[in-house]
């Protein structure tokens, strides 16, 4: 690991001011479970001059409900979110998503802000210097994406034009299904971004001097069946090949409200709006669930080696819908 300046931030405002001062040459460190491995691997073309520690910001790890909204500070730990009775009771999809992340040790360190902002897991992008990297690619500023002609089995099936890496965050998928908003702080003040809008083709929507301050989730109907399920290859610990989060409300078998988000398929979580719409006001049965699953994947365009994700995603959508009955 190369040397860098380490600064303990005391407030969100100070952290953002430091980001501005370093003009793209500083990064935030929360739990460090992702950042430190990318620094050690030196897989990116540029190396930060400064690391700004946000764990030293007092009171940024809250989990509280207020006026029908759950508010989570950016430094709330994933283990606390997974175990919180408040989250488990009213925001179950989020608690389940947090519980499936990595290992207990990582969840004890990892924060929700860091989980949302973690770097992609594309193996070309992460190829370490020790093995001959870094590999240049569109996400690092070049025009070429080696994954297009290469091994893209874990890449996106809803395609962007430049980068095909999928968002690795399980939590983001639950937040998308729960209509969460991400509160972003910067020198100009605060702005609120829908969880579904937080990820762009090449990075998050954060500016160079912005950070995640908190997450807000409106309370769902107490009758909504909330779920998070992930398909991964190594069950005890692995990123999702495909994941799904859902909140589906039925009254006597008739769907009155449906929210479904898919993960592992694009640069951010994807809301399956057509699938949600087709369920509304109808009696849930296998045929309707199969129709919704087809609609959820309608716009998908797999790469050369990842068409298998289509069937997994459809199966997860069907199970999420049928599971509520």
Indicate the residue among 236 and 281 with the shorter CB distance to ligand FAD: 236
Considering only residues 101, 145, 248, 258, which one is a binding residue for ligand FAD as defined by CB under 6 A?
101
Nearest to 227, CA basis, from 252, 251, 201, 262: 262
- Could you tell me the smallest distance in angstroms from the CB atom of residue 34 to ligand SF4? 15
How far apart CA 143 and CA 140 sit, in angstroms, is 9
- Could you tell me the smallest distance in angstroms from the CB atom of residue 301 to ligand SF4? 15
How far apart CA 189 and CA 206 sit, in angstroms, is 13
Indicate the residue among 92 and 126 with the shorter CB distance to ligand FAD: 126
How far apart CA 171 and CA 116 sit, in angstroms, is 7
Contact 172, 215 (CB under 8 A): no
Nearest to 298, CA basis, from 244, 245, 262, 324: 262
Contact 89, 126 (CB under 8 A): no
Contacts with ligand SF4 by CB under 6 A lie at 120, 122, 124-125, 137-139, 145-147, 155, 163-165
Q: Is the peptide bond before 134 cis (omega within 30 degrees of 0)?
A: yes
Residue 54 makes contact with ligand FAD by CB under 6 A: yes
How far apart CA 147 and CA 126 sit, in angstroms, is 12
β-sheet bridge partners, residue 225: 248
Indicate the residue among 27 and 137 with the shorter CB distance to ligand SF4: 137
Residue 146 makes contact with ligand FAD by CB under 6 A: no
Residue 237 makes contact with ligand FAD by CB under 6 A: yes
Q: What is the x/- site pattern for ligand FAD, positions 246-285, by CB under 6 A?
A: ----------------------------------------
Considering only residues 63, 76, 95, 113, which one is a binding residue for ligand FAD as defined by CB under 6 A?
113
Interface residues toward ligand FAD, by CB under 6 A:
27-35, 54, 74, 101-102, 106, 109-111, 113-115, 117-119, 168-171, 206, 211-212, 237-239
């Amino acid at each position: 690991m190369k040397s860098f300046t380490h600064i303990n931030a005391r407030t969100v405002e100070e952290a953002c001011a430091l980001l501005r001062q370093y003009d793209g040459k500083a990064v935030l460190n929360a739990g460090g479970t992702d950042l430190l491995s990318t620094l050690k691997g030196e897989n990116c073309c540029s190396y930060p001059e400064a690391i700004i520690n946000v764990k030293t910001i007092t009171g940024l790890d809250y989990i509280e409900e207020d006026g029908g909204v759950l508010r989570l500070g950016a430094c709330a730990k994933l283990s606390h979110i997974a175990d919180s009775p408040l989250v488990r009771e009213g925001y179950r999809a989020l608690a389940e998503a947090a519980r499936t992340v990595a290992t207990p040790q990582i969840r004890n360190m990892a924060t929700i802000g860091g989980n949302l902002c973690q770097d992609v897991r594309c193996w070309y992008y992460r190829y370490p210097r020790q093995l001959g990297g870094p590999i240049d690619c569109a996400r690092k500023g070049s025009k070429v994406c080696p994954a297009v002609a290469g091994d893209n089995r874990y890449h996106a099936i809803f395609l962007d034009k430049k980068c095909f890496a999928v968002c690795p965050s399980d939590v983001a998928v639950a937040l998308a299904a729960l209509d969460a908003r991400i509160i972003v702080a910067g020198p100009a003040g605060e702005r609120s971004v829908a969880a579904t809008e937080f990820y762009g083709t090449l990075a998050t929507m954060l500016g160079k001097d912005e950070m995640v301050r908190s997450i807000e989730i409106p309370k769902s109907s107490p009758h909504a069946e909330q779920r998070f399920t992930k398909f991964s290859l190594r069950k005890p610990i692995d990123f999702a090949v495909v994941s799904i989060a859902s909140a589906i409300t039925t009254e006597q078998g008739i769907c009155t409200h449906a929210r479904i988000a898919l993960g592992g398929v694009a640069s951010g979580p994807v809301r399956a709006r057509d699938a949600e719409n087709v369920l509304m006001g109808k009696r849930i049965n296998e045929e309707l669930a199969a129709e919704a699953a087809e609609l959820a994947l309608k716009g998908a365009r797999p790469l050369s080696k990842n068409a298998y994700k289509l069937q997994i995603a459809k199966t997860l959508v069907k199970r999420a819908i049928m599971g509520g009955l």
